[in-house]
């Protein structure tokens, strides 16, 4: 029995002396989608886009980030990217993939310029485009959650969180989609969430003057509440 223990211990000691063979770092390059903070790989954000925030645009280009995990290359390398038809509701003419589809030399994060086209029906429905990365001779696939990205786009608009009671009472009055679209057209901004009350007031004044100027020129601004106006408390 004593010998069995001694032998076992000796085997264990030998096992500890076994040397693992370590893969050289960078032998394999991985590629995945990244979110708007591409330094961190988390699960990829869904990209939401609405033509309502860009009034009058017939097409727009949105950035799609792809991140390299591995060595940067001195040459451009092709990316295998496809549209996942099963999970895509966008029509063929709604988008244009960048061409050529390459990961550019010397970059750790590259931006693909995806072009979205405005079309009929986007004011009534939101469409989805799913892009999927595939493995090729240059890249293996990164984390599972980052191998595809969904782009939801429309020409629809909804009451934003910043259009709260304070904004309603002091500045812009009751919310309506039509008013919000006009506000964006007048001010060039769609988000007042991070603005001070001073700035919100100034934008509301610009909007008030836009409505007045338009009405003087014969425009009619109405929504479901009647005539579109800013809050009567705005001074």
Partner 1 sequence: MKQFIFLHMIFGLALMACACHQDKGLYDYADVNKVVIDLGNNGFLGPKTSDTLHINPLLIYRGDTTLATHVSETFTFIWYCNGEEISRNPQLVYAVRELTGKRPYVKLKVINKADESTFLAGFYVDAVPEYQTGWVVLTKKENRGIISFIDPDTYVVTADFYTTIAQEELGPNAIAVKEHWMAGGGLTNTGNILIVRNDPAGNIELDGTNLGPIYNTNNFFLGNVLPDDFRPRGEFYMWDYSFMLDDNGNVYTRKHENNAYAQSGVYPNKPMFIPSGVKFHKGWSGTHLSGQTIFYDQTNGSLYLGTDHGFVLPINYMSGPPIPPGTTLIHAMDKELAYVGKLQQGRFTSSYFLFFRDDTGQHYVQKIQVMDQYYTCAALFFSEKPFGVGTATPQSIFCQLQRIENYLFYSGGTNNNTLYLYEHSQAQSSAYFTFDAPIKTIAARQNSVMGVTTHDQLLVGLENGDTYVLGILSEQMANPAARLIKRIELDQGVPVSSMYKVGFGYTQL
Alpha carbon distance 10, 65 (integer Å): 54
∠ Cα 79 35 80 (to 5°): 10
Q: Which stretch binds partner 1 (CB under 8 A): 13-21, 38-46, 93-101, 191-199?
A: 191-199
- Cβ proximity of 163 and 203 under 8 Å: no
Other C-beta atoms closer than 10 Å to the C-beta of 111 total: 15
Q: Provide the angle, in degrees to the nearest 10, between the axes of the packed helices 177-187 and 197-216.
A: 100
Query: Is position 113 an interface residue for partner 1 (rule: CB under 8 A)?
Result: no
β-strand partners of 133: 81
The nearer residue to partner 1, 54 or 128, going by C-beta atoms, is: 54
State in angstroms the smallest separation of the CB of 209 from partner 1. Answer: 3
Task: Tell me if the bond preceding 206 is cis, omega within 30° of 0.
Answer: no
Q: List helix spans (H) across 78-229.
A: 165-167, 177-187, 197-216
Interface residue with partner 1, options 57, 109, 115, 212 (CB under 8 A): 212
Q: Which stretch binds partner 1 (CB under 8 A): 13-21, 24-32, 140-148, 200-208?
A: 200-208
Interface residue with partner 1, options 77, 150, 206, 231 (CB under 8 A): 206
Q: Which stretch binds partner 1 (CB under 8 A): 127-135, 139-147, 173-181, 211-219?
A: 211-219
Query: Is position 39 an interface residue for partner 1 (rule: CB under 8 A)?
Result: no
Site of interaction with partner 1 (CB under 8 A):
197-199, 201-203, 205-206, 208-210, 212-213, 216, 235
């Amino acid at each position: 029995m004593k010998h069995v223990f001694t032998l076992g211990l000796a085997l264990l000691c030998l096992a500890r002396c076994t040397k693992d063979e370590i893969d050289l770092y960078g032998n394999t390059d991985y590629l995945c989608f990244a979110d708007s903070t591409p330094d961190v790989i988390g699960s990829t954000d869904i990209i939401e886009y609405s033509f309502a925030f860009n009034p009058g645009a017939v097409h727009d280009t949105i950035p799609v980030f792809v991140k390299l995990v591995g060595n940067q290359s001195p040459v451009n390398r092709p990316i295998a990217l496809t549209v996942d038809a099963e999970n895509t509701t966008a029509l063929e003419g709604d988008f244009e993939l960048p061409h050529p589809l390459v990961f550019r030399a010397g970059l750790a994060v590259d931006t693909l310029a995806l072009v979205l086209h405005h079309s009929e029906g986007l004011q009534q429905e939101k469409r989805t485009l799913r892009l999927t990365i595939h493995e090729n001779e240059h890249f293996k696939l990164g984390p599972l959650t980052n191998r595809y990205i969904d782009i939801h786009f429309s020409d629809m608009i909804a009451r934003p969180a910043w259009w709260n009671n304070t904004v309603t009472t002091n500045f812009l009055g009751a919310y309506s989609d039509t008013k919000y679209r006009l506000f964006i057209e007048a001010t060039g901004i769609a988000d007042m969430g991070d603005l001070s009350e001073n700035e919100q007031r100034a934008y509301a004044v610009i909007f008030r003057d836009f409505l007045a100027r338009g009405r003087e020129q014969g425009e009619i601004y109405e929504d479901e509440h009647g005539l579109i106006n800013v809050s009567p408390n705005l001074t």
